[in-house]
Structure 1
Amino acid sequence: MNALIESFYLDVKIQRLEHWKKRSVTDIIYDISKQTGIKVYFFDYQSELNNLGGEWRIFLNQKQNKAKIWQDFGRQFGVYISYQLLIKGNRTDEMKDFFYHFCVPTFLLNELMVMPSFKNKEKEKEWLIGEIARVFHVEYQFAKTRLGLYLQSF
């Protein structure tokens, strides 16, 4: 799953944390949607994924804050990717946490975690969670869950 996610980011020229920090969430959403051919629309209702007439679309609730929009995009995009894998006969078991890994990509989180400011704060979990939320434009609870998934991998 991590290799798949990393490939999406590499395709939109996000290879390092410095590239991530230069882009807005909206720009990343549009770039990924353009690269994958899935259309994205912002509207005033609950976020959803649909397939009408064979064309996939993600509708994102624009009344939410940027963190929630980004998380919703990750969730809907994960459902889309799971469906694509399923119809190709691939297993989708590992996809249940896709949106956590997509919104806070492991390869970028690895880079963040070795920065001097992070190494010095290893024991201050609340600070780490707050920084992950800030850097990756996600909500605090989302960042907390993602950090837990990240630490479980070691």
Structure 2
Amino acid sequence: MNFVYSHLEDYIYNLYTSIGITNPKQLDPRIIAPLLGITLIYLPYDSTNTGSVIFLDSRLSKEEQWQEFGHESCHANLHSGNQAKSNHLFREYQEWKANSFAFHFCVPTFMLKQVKLPKNKELAIIKICLLFNVEYDFAEKRLDHYLNNHFPENYEPITNFLDYR
């Protein structure tokens, strides 16, 4: 079976390789933000973005900050305009897209594919947590999505992939 990437997986691959990000050790907001032309500011408030400025909540763990950076990076790079003035259904759609983007941004398929994962699911999740600096629930959902999409004959589907926030 050929390994086929989705459009989002291709986008993430092209985005990262265009700025020289090729391995999990480089997945850090402080490294990636300047390479993407993003100003990163840490404050004790909820994470958000305004144009090319991302404000990350300094009260969060490093893992949560990385996940929030992935989410806000989608808004900064792919969404324009004032969300507050948008139709609520369109805002919901953009949030759904940003959540999906965050999973792929924080645990890129092209990197995950190179990892030799244990057959035991819990050990595989822990390995993803450690390699990609994400929380357990986030890693579990990302692993489920990866297996569902790329190895569906060996895996049962999940229903709540995007509900991590």
State whether TM-score is above 0.5.
yes
Q: Counterpart of 1:108? A: 111
More helix by share: 1
- Aligned match for 1:142, one of 138, 150, 153: 138
Q: Alpha carbon RMSD of aligned pairs, Å? A: 2.1
The answer (yes or no) to whether the contact 2:42–2:57 under 8 Å persists in 1 is yes
CA distance in 1 between partners of 2:122 and 2:70 (Å): 24
Structure 2 counterpart of 1:106, which letter?
Answer: T
In the TM superposition, structure 1's runs of 4+ consecutive aligned residues that sit over 6 Å from their partners are: none
1:2 to 5, 9, 15: 9
Determine what percentage of the aligned residue pairs are the same residue.
Answer: 31
- Match of 2:40? 40
Determine which of 55, 59, 79 is the counterpart of 1:59.
55
Q: Check whether the contact 2:54–2:76 (CA below 8 A) recurs between aligned residues.
A: no
Question: One-letter code of the match for 1:7?
Answer: N
SS at match of 1:14: coil
Distance across 2 between alignment mates of 1:14 and 1:77: 15
Q: CA deviation at 1:79?
A: 2.0
Q: Output the CA distance in 2 between the equivalents of 1:31 and 1:135.
A: 16
SS where residue 59 of structure 1 aligns? strand
Pairwise CA distance, 1:47? 0.8
1:95-134 to 2 correspondence within 5 Å?
95=97, 96-112=99-115, 115=116, 118=117, 121-122=118-119, 124-134=120-130
Count of aligned positions: 129
Any idea what the Cα deviations from partners look like across 1:118-151, whole Å, max 9, x if unmatched?
2xx31x1111111101110000000001001101
TM-aligned CA deviation for residue 104 of structure 1: 0.3
Question: 20, 27, 32: which one pairs with 1:13?
Answer: 20
Is structure 2 residue 158 aligned with structure 1 residue 151? no
TM-score calculated relative to the size of structure 1? 0.75
Q: How high is the TM-score relative to the length of structure 2?
A: 0.70
SS at the partner of 2:16?
A: helix
Selected match of 1:81 from 56, 72, 77: 77
Distance 1:64 1:99 in 2: 16
- 1:68, 1:138 within 8 Å by CA — same for their partners in 2? yes
Contact 1:8 1:32 (8 Å CA) reproduced: no
